[in-house]
Every structure is written in structure tokens, then in C-alpha cells.
Amino acid sequence: MKNNLKLVVMENCWDFGKKVDVHLQKTYQESTIIPISNNRFSNGEGKIKIEESIRDQDLYILSDVGNYDTSYSMHGREHFLSPDEHFQDIKRVISAASGYASKITVVMPLLYQSRQHKRKCRESLDCAIALQELERLGVDHIVTFDCHDPNVSNAVPLLPFESFYPTNVILSTLLEKENENLENLFVVSPDFGAMERAKYYAEMLGCNVGAFYKRRDLSRVVNGKNPILEHTYLGESVEGKDVLVVDDMIASGSSMIEVGEELKKRGANNVYFVASFALLTEGITPFVEAYEKGVFDKLYSTNLSYVPESIKKEPWYEDVDCSHQLSTIIETLHEKKPMGTLINGRNEILQKALGGRKS
């Protein structure tokens, strides 16, 4: 098969990108990765060069804007890249490819500034502005995963925007590894904002769903958000049930741990945390302590954004590989195949993992 698909893998997701490429090679019989050089001047200014011809090629730019372990030397000191800098590098690749590539698709598994998708009063509207910036630079398609609010795509109504979910991959992994421990399943949303996601998990598993209401102190802002005063549970009894607490991302994790504590107080059996992105911005100590106290049994998250190897080795952490899913998405888009099976998530591997459970 003639291959005009070229994959630019940024340094911030190199290992994951190579896994995606291995899957793509099964279709295209050769590597799809095209080399780039990413250099920095000593004051931190950067430039990117695409090292091979991309004339009339379909270019897919893969970047993990959440990687906090990528660094360079600035003024003689080690400087770690922020999401802002990762996003700037994406724009550098686009500008280097403009006028040459036949199509440019940006793949950001963790959507840049996705939590700042709307504004109140005089707040900045970062995610919408970033999407519009990509559109103005000539991007033809944007692919992301579990977008905090997919409605942000309204900022670019004429630009194809796809937000896929790793639900089927996470569930198949969880059910395979925990099959002997799961009996009476129940899904819980840690807040009302994640309710749609929780309902989707519940529909896939054929079980009921509950939710917590977060009562916040709106008079104070701590670390960019109003602190939580109380978690109020709404739903049927969780006593004796194996509970999945699902959300799009875990930042500090304090809220998720508090939800786990409340579920255990109410007699839940096994408690599993499930998140597409485990940012763990305050370190792992709270999770280590919570695990040792029996607050939760396992945290399932994906490799769609950076997680240190030291965390992946923890007994309470389970890494879910989504490289095959992303390669299938890229191939489907490139070959212009129907996308229905990718969107609804009800694939054969999940049905097999469910072992006959209602779906």
C-alpha cells in the first residue's frame, strides 16, 4: 500500500509515538515517523526543522502537552517545558510544514487548556483561542481524547474536531485484570460534571450509576480552584458493591481520595479509580497513604499523557496502553473509512472482556 501518511512525534511523547508507529507499520509496511530537529537558543527561543520532504503528504503531529519531564538548557540552567511551550512547538511544526503538506492533523491526546474551556467575568478563554489559532495556521483536523468539554469545538465550527474516549480500552484492561474480584458492579461520578462519562461507563457495563455533589467554598480560591467543603452522595446504596469512580483527569487527587473514603464508609467492597489522564500534580504520597489505608484498590489510567515509570511500578497503579486505539483512529481517518465503530466504543474486545455481561 502506498504510504503518504507521515507522523511527526514530538519529544514529549516519543515512546508512545513509537508504539503507535509499530501498529501503523502493520498496515503500511514501513515506519510512518518523519524526523524533525528541535533546537533551542541559549535564551530559550526555539526552532523546528522537518528533516525530510513532506510534499503532498498527510501530516499527523502527535504531541503530549502534559509532559512535565521534557527539558532544555536556558541561560545555563535546566528548564522544564510547560504546556504553553509544548503548544508553541506544535505551532512551529505547523509553520515548517505549511505550503508543503497536503493535510495537517494535530493529535493532542490531552487537549491544551481544556479545563479553561469557558470563562466567567474577566477570565481568559484559552482553549477556544488556541483552537482558533490552529485553524488560522492551516490545520485541517484536530484529534483529542476525553475532552473536558467537547462543546469547546464550537469555537471552530468549520474545523473537524474529534474527541475520542479510551473507555473501551480501559474497561477491557480492568475487566481482564480484576475479573475474579468483580461481582456486583456500580459506577460513581465524583461530581456532576463527570456524570455523562459515568453514565457511559454504566451503560457499557449494564449497571447503575450514582454521583457525589461537591459543596465548595466560593469565597476562596486555592491553587486555582474553590476548595471543597463537603461531598454529598446521591444514589442507591453501594454496600457490598465493587465501585468504579470515573473522571476525565485526576489533578491533585484529593477529591478522588475523599470520594473513595466516603464509599468505604458506606460499605463499598472494592473501589477502583478510573481516569483518562493521571496528572497527579501533588505527587503520589496521598495515593500511597490512601492505598495503605484501604481507601481504594487500584487506579487505572492511560499512557495518553506522561506518567513517570516510578509511578507505573506502584502496586496501586495500572497503566492502560492506548497506542493501538490511536493507530486505528489515524488509519481510519487517513483511509477515510467510516468512524462509527470508533465513536460508539462497543468493539469486540470489550464484549469478550465482559464475558457475557449485559452491555
Q: Where are the domains of the chain?
A: 5-164, 167-321+349-354
Q: Give the pLDDT confidence score for residue 194 in this predicted structure.
A: 82
Give the residue among 309, 301, 257, 310 at the shortest CA–CA distance from 279: 301
Paired residues of 211 in beta bridges? 189, 234
Burial of 43 (0-12, 13-18, 19+ CB in 10 A): exposed
Q: Does domain 5-164 have CATH number 3.40.50.1820?
A: no
Separation of alpha carbons 29 and 304, rounded Å? 24
pLDDT of residue 214: 72
Report pLDDT for 168: 87
pTM confidence score = 0.89
**CATH fold for the domain made of 167-321+349-354:** Rossmann fold (3.40.50)
Three-state secondary-structure class, residue 84: helix
pLDDT of residue 349: 41
Q: Point out the residues of the chain with pLDDT beneath 50.
A: 347-350, 352-353, 356-359
Q: Is 358 helix (H, G, I), strand (E, B) or coil?
A: coil
Q: What is the pLDDT of residue 222?
A: 63
